[in-house]
């Protein structure tokens, strides 16, 4: 199977379209229509490399779900609405079974996330998957990292640490079983909080998605905003499944530094808490206040105002990991 046959068979087969796509896959460029009402284009790219971001032999449909979920999560974190994406595929070989699984799962998940594939690039080499996503955001509603204010509450969606728990069951080589299905799904299938972010954006001052652990990512908000922050480990939202799998202490540690949960971390003034909780509840998403912004230049762990110590390193690709 040649490159063009591969693209035609697996990626250009007419999936859903959108009115704003004047020309999709097949020419030198896609041609896309921009809204005319002053919205800004939000653009982000994410890459998965075999051996670095996933274990060799990982199922192609899981890879597709993780790839598009992680990328769209960046749009969600800006309160942007997903629109289009491009896909750069580097494959060691054109394996029809792999391509079939991958392309079906990608198309299915993209449709659920309301984003359409408009182009890409296909090359031979060590397995590497990249997705660039494009979305639209109202300028004054974009959830930047730099907007947090002293006294803001720190809010997180969902539960934290589950993805790290799912990864551990894979590293431990556990067979698939009902007791680890939830955690594995949280690892393989990120759930970008698109609707929640847009609903909370009018009330929030800053936001980020949690891809490197709460401490690391809240640290980005703190630094960008010229502030410090305080997190109470006892307030962290933990799933029953994670606690059952690794116990409460490790669950708390992974909630702080586990990474790849792709939940939202927002800061909002205290008087917006009630409306934020209500908007989250209406969408059936858990939202938890885990701390607040304060003067300083560090993220501190404090239980009832008293400092506590925990392993606090998030995952850093080019740094030391603890
Ligand atoms: P060019 O050589 O002009 O860059 P290509 O031969 O790489 O074009 O690609 C032909 C068409 O197929 C382009 O429209 C490109 O966007 C699309 N395409 C290539 N690879 C993929 C892919 N993996 N997924 C989706 N579209 C792809
Ligand atoms: Mg060309």
Can you list the domains of the chain with their CATH numbers? 3-140 (3.30.1330.10), 143-307 (3.90.650.10)
217 C-beta neighbours (distance < 10 Å), count: 24
Question: Residue 9: what pLDDT?
Answer: 93
Q: State if residue 121 touches ligand 1 by the CB under 6 angstroms criterion.
A: yes
- On whether the CB atoms of residues 86 and 131 are closer than 8 A, the answer is yes
Kindly give the distance from the C-alpha atom of residue 50 to the centroid of ligand 1, in angstroms, as a whole number.
22
Range of weakest confidence among 8-17, 45-54, 237-246: 8-17
Which pLDDT tens digit goes with each residue over 78-109?
A: 999 999 999 999 999 999 999 999 999 999 99
The answer, yes or no, to whether residue 116 has pLDDT greater than 80, is yes
Q: State if residue 31 touches ligand 1 by the CB under 6 angstroms criterion.
A: no
Question: Residue 14: what pLDDT?
Answer: 67
Question: Residue 322: what pLDDT?
Answer: 36
CA angle 73, 74, 80 (to 5 degrees): 95
Please state at what angle helix 162-171 crosses helix 178-188, rounded to 10 degrees. Answer: 110
In DSSP terms, which residues pair with 45 in a beta bridge? 132
Question: Residue 72: what pLDDT?
Answer: 98
Test site for ligand 1: of 2, 5, 7, most ligand atoms within 8 A of the Cβ: 7
Q: In this structure, which residues have their CB less than 5 angstroms from ion ligand 2?
A: 28
Question: Residue 318: what pLDDT?
Answer: 52
Question: Residue 319: what pLDDT?
Answer: 47
In which band, very low, low, confident or very high, does the pLDDT at 309 lie, cut at 50, 70 and 90? Answer: confident
Provide, rounded to the nearest whole percent, the portion of the chain with pLDDT above 90: 87
Q: State if residue 37 touches ligand 1 by the CB under 6 angstroms criterion.
A: no
Q: Which of 192, 168, 196 is nearest to 180 (CA)?
A: 168
Q: Helix (H, G, I), strand (E, B), or coil: what is residue 25?
A: strand
In which band, very low, low, confident or very high, does the pLDDT at 2 lie, cut at 50, 70 and 90? Answer: confident
The answer, yes or no, to whether residue 205 has pLDDT greater than 80, is yes
H or E element in which residue 119 lies = strand 116-124
- On whether the CB atoms of residues 110 and 124 are closer than 8 A, the answer is no
Q: State if residue 10 touches ligand 1 by the CB under 6 angstroms criterion.
A: no
Which residue, judged by its Cα, is nearest atom 1 of ligand 1?
28
Model-level pTM?
0.92
- Helix, strand, coil shares of the chain, percent, nearest 5, are 40, 25, 35
Q: Helix (H, G, I), strand (E, B), or coil: what is residue 113?
A: coil
Test site for ligand 1: of 121, 122, 123, 128, most ligand atoms within 8 A of the Cβ: 121
Which pLDDT tens digit goes with each residue over 40-66?
A: 999 999 999 999 999 999 999 999 999
Which pLDDT tens digit goes with each residue over 140-180?
A: 999 999 999 999 999 999 999 999 999 999 999 889 888 89
In whole angstroms, how large is the CA radius of gyration of the chain?
20
Which residue, judged by its Cα, is nearest atom 5 of ligand 1?
121
Cα 133 from Cα 266, distance rounded (Å)? 21
Q: State if residue 58 touches ligand 1 by the CB under 6 angstroms criterion.
A: no
- On whether the CB atoms of residues 163 and 186 are closer than 8 A, the answer is yes
Question: Residue 65: what pLDDT?
Answer: 98
């Amino acid at each position: 199977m040649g490159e063009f046959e591969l693209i035609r068979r697996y990626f250009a087969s007419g999936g859903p379209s959108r009115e704003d796509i004047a020309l999709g896959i097949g020419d030198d460029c896609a041609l896309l229509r921009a809204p005319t009402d002053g919205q800004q284009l939000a653009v982000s790219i994410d890459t998965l490399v075999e051996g670095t971001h996933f274990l060799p032999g990982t199922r192609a449909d899981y890879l597709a779900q993780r790839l598009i979920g992680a990328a769209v999560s960046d749009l969600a974190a800006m309160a942007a609405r997903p629109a289009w994406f491009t896909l750069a595929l580097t494959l060691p070989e054109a394996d029809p079974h792999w391509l079939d699984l991958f392309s079906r799962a990608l198309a299915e998940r993209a449709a659920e996330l309301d984003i359409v594939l408009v182009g890409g690039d296909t090359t031979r080499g060590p397995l590497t998957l990249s997705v660039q996503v494009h979305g639209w955001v109202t300028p004054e509603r974009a959830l930047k990292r730099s907007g947090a204010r002293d006294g803001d509450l720190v809010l997180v969606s969902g539960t934290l640490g589950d993805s790290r728990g799912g990864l551990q069951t894979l590293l431990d080589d556990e067979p698939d079983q009902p007791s680890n299905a939830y955690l594995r799904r949280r690892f393989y299938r990120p759930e970008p909080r698109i609707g929640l972010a847009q609903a909370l954006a009018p009330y929030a001052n800053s936001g980020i998605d949690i891809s490197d652990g709460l401490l690391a990512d809240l640290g980005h908000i703190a630094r960008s905003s010229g502030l410090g922050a305080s997190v109470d480990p006892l307030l962290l939202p933990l799933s029953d499944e994670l606690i059952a799998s690794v116990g409460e202490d490790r669950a708390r540690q992974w909630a702080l530094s586990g990474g790849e949960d792709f939940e939202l971390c927002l800061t909002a003034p205290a008087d917006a808490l009630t409306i934020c909780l209500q908007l989250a509840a209406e969408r059936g998403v858990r939202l938890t206040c885990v701390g607040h912004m304060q003067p300083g230049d560090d993220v501190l762990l404090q239980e009832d105002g008293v400092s506590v110590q925990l392993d606090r390193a998030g995952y850093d690709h080019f740094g030391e990991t603890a």
